[in-house]
Chains A and B, each alone.
Chain A
Amino acid sequence: DAKTTQPNSMESNEEEPVHLPCNHSTISGTDYIHWYRQLPSQGPEYVIHGLTSNVNNRMASLAIAEDRKSSTLILHRATLRDAAVYYCILVGWETSGSRLTFGEGTQLTVNP
C-alpha cells in the first residue's frame, strides 16, 4: 500500500486557520487522497477527498500539489470541536481497493 507521512501532532488557536500536511511520495496515478478525522470516543468521520484538483466543502479545503506527492488539509477557522486525530489516507482500486488503511495521523489540539 502507498504510505502517507503526517506530523504526529499540531497545535492551533481557536478561530485561526490550520494547515495539516501529508506527504505521499509513492502515490499511484489512480489513488484518491482521502481525509478522515476521529474525535475522542467516536468513530472516524469523513472530511474531504480529491484526486488532482483542489477541493472545497463545508468542512474544509484540500490543496493537492501539482505532482500529487503531497497535500494539505485546510481548516479555515478552527473550533474546539475540531480537536481530533486527522488521517490522510490513499485509496485506490489498484493499490488497496476501497478499504481505508489508517496510519498514525496527526493529533490536532485547538487552544481556546
Chain B
Amino acid sequence: AAGVIQSPRHLIKEKRETATLKCYPIPRHDTVYWYQQGPGQDPQFLISFYEKMQSDKGSIPDRFSAQQFSDYHSELNMSSLELGDSALYFCASSPATAGGFIYEQYFGPGTRLTVT
C-alpha cells in the first residue's frame, strides 16, 4: 500500500539558511499534518491543512510557513534557521476529517534536519 512520502530524508543546513521540506500524502487523503521531534523529545504538532486551507496551527515559529497545493502535497518552508531547529520533521496524512469523525493519521518516515 502507498505510504506518506517525505523528501529529502536528510538535510544539512547552516545557520540563517533556508530549508524546504516536502510531503506527499497517501492518495485520496486530503488532510496533512506537520510535526517536529527534537532529540530525545516527543513529537510536537506544528500545523495542518485540509483541502488546501490551513485547518489548525500549533507551536510553529513565525520563521516557518507551510502550504498545501492543488495535488494535496505540502511543503514546510523554514527560514533563518537556528541550531535549535535541528530535529526530525514528520508529515502525516489522513482522510477527510469532515462529519465529526476523526480518522487515524499515517506518518511518513520523516526528514532529519541538521543545522550547523
Seen from chain A, the residues whose Cβ lies within 8 Å of a Cβ on chain B are: 32, 34, 38, 42-46, 49, 87, 91-93, 97-105
Contacts and interface: CB of A to CB of B under 8 A. Distances in A.
Q: How many B residues are at the interface, by size bracket? A: 20 to 34
Nearest to A46: B104
Q: Lowest 10 A-B CB distances belong to which pairs?
A: A43-B107, A46-B104, A102-B42, A99-B45, A102-B43, A98-B102, A43-B90, A98-B97, A97-B56, A44-B107
B109 A42 contact: yes
B110 A98 contact: no
A102 B56 contact: no
What is the predominant secondary structure among interface residues of chain A facing chain B? loop
Contacts of A105: 42
B58 interface: yes
B31 interface: yes
Q: Kindly name the residue among B58, B90, B97, B107 whose own CB sees the greatest number of chain A CB atoms within 10 A.
A: B107
A43 B110 contact: yes
B105 interface: yes
A100 B58 CA distance: 10
Nearest to A101: B45
Q: Kindly name the residue among A32, A98, A105 whose own CB sees the greatest number of chain B CB atoms within 10 A.
A: A98
